[in-house]
């Protein structure tokens, strides 16, 4: 699941928790929405920590140019 999927989970969880008033027998939609939001936040945190580790940039080393010096005597 990428960053987009995590954001969608957070959005769907917020909609279920705050914007709906459906009553389903045996299912608490507020709790399901909170669980979706928590899973989405954990996913964002995990994704950002993995992406931070992948973004380590090592500057390239400059090429070594060896000059051959010739002495004329």
Of 22, 62, 64, 16, which Cα lies nearest the Cα of 40?
16
Ordered by start, the domain boundaries in the chain are 3-52
pLDDT over 70, % of the chain? 89
> What SS3 state is found at 69?
coil
Residues 34, 27, 41: CA angle, nearest 5 degrees: 15
Task: Give mean pLDDT, residues 57-71.
Answer: 73
Report pLDDT digits (tens) over 16-48: 999 988 888 999 999 999 999 999 999 999 988
The C-alpha atoms of residue 23 and residue 14 are separated, in whole angstroms, by 16
Given a cut of 70, is residue 72 above it in pLDDT?
A: no
Of residues 28 and 53, more confidence is placed in 28
The reported pTM is: 0.67
> What SS3 state is found at 41?
helix
């Amino acid at each position: 699941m990428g960053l987009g999927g995590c954001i969608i989970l957070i959005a769907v969880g917020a909609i279920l928790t705050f914007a709906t008033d459906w009553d389903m027998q045996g299912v608490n939609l507020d709790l399901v929405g909170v669980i979706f939001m928590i899973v989405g936040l954990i996913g964002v945190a995990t994704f950002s920590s993995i992406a931070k580790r992948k973004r380590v940039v090592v500057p390239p080393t400059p090429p070594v140019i060896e000059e051959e010096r010739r002495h004329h005597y």
